[in-house]
Each structure stands twice: as C-alpha cells, then as structure tokens.
Amino acid sequence: MTSLMHHRALITGASRGIGKATALAFAKAGIDLVLVSRSHQALAEVAAEIAPLNVDVQLFAVDLALVEQVRPQIESIVSQFPTDILVNNAGMGYTGDLLSTSLTDWQQVLALNLTSVFQCIQAVLPTMRQQQQGTIINIASIAGYQAFPGWGAYNVSKAGLISLSKTLAAEERAHGIRVVTLCPGAVNTPIWDTETVQANFDRTRMLTPETVAQTILHTALLPPGAVIEELTVMPSSGAL
C-alpha cells in the first residue's frame, strides 16, 4: 500500500522486535522516521539497515520507564521533527501471580506499559491538533481482554491501554486525529528472553514481528477518511 501524503512516524521501542520491524516496514513505504529507545547504539544498528532505503531517520535515546521525563523529552523531539504518526510500541512483559507481585514490580509494569504511553500521547497531541491530522497507534495485547493467569500486572496494563485508546479516540476525532488499538497475540520477540518473563512456549507458533509490522503499516496508510479503531491479530494456531 502506498500513500500520496508525506509522513513522519515516531516509533517507541524501535531498537528490536515489533518496533524495529515497524521501522523497516515504514521506511520501505517511504515514511521518514523518528526512532526512540533506551539504547542509542541499538538504534544506530537499525538505522544502518534502513540507510539504503533513502528516508530520513532521527535517533533519540529515551528511557520511557522514567515517566516524569517522558513528556518533556518527547515534546522536545517533536518540536524539532513534527510527526503525524505515533506508534506506541515500547513495553515490558511480566509474569507472576498477583499475590506475589511486589508493589515496585506492579508500578514498574504500569509505568512503562501505560503511563509512558499517556505521556507520549500528551507530547504529540498539540502538534497533531494544530495540523488537524495524525494517527496514534497503540500496541496493546489480547491480554488486555483475556485474563491470563500468572500475568496479572501485564494483563492490567494492557487493559488500561485499551481503555486509554478508546477514550483518546472519542476525544480526538473532532480534531482529525485517528487512534488505532492493535491487540496482537503472542509475538516472537526478545520480550520472552527478559528477566521479568518466565514462560515456556513454542515460539515457532507465534506471530513474527514482521507480520505485526505490516498490520501497523496498513492501519497507518488508510485514506484519511477511514480508521481501523481496533484490530486483533492472532497466530493461526490460536492463543498459546
């Protein structure tokens, strides 16, 4: 799918997994990029892969877990590089039953998976309202609808993100801003290798980041008069 409009997309969590795959898919579609992640070096490696595609790529190391710093940092970025697409992809996985989940861990999951998204949204909205256009794509999860035992904090963070997206869509339609909530099933990304996730699934049965990225691209490049407000993408083998 191609678009006659020129776009610039800000993608969080862009150094690996879905974020990296989305950056590559967007670049192939001719979309300029602002890539955000904790590691500038990891972003530079992604930018090197994108270089042959001839799009403008800006890199910013931002730790979205430090939620009090997120809004001013993202505001500074978009003041330099106005964006009309925001992909809120950064997040973390977490396993543990509710009884054994510490308050510190609970707050860490909610801060990154929900509050940092809220702060990114607040940072880009004034520019999008001024432009009277924009697309905000929030990467939630089927865990926001289906309560997986042992994933309590993660389930709640994604359910909150779905509600945030729906509220945002209702508030911003009048300003020409589209909001997309994407709820993937299991995706084979490095999240499964992190210390906060203890799970043993057959990762060959999961979605690939590239499949999810193509779905994100499709929602971003719909004609301005249409929006996919919510989309669930599952592995053909079903929930794991």
Q: Which residues are catalytic?
A: 154
Tokens of 89: 């992809």
* Token pair for 71: 């809004």
Look up residue 18 and give its two tokens: 């879905």
Q: Distance (Å, rounded) from C-alpha 128 to C-alpha 12?
A: 17
| Measured distance CA(185)–CA(158) in Å, rounded | 12
Dihedral, CA atoms, 71, 58, 8, 111, nearest 10 degrees? -30
- Find the angle CA(219)-CA(178)-CA(166) to the nearest 5 degrees: 100
Compute the distance between CA of residue 85 and CA of residue 133 in angstroms, rounded to an integer: 9
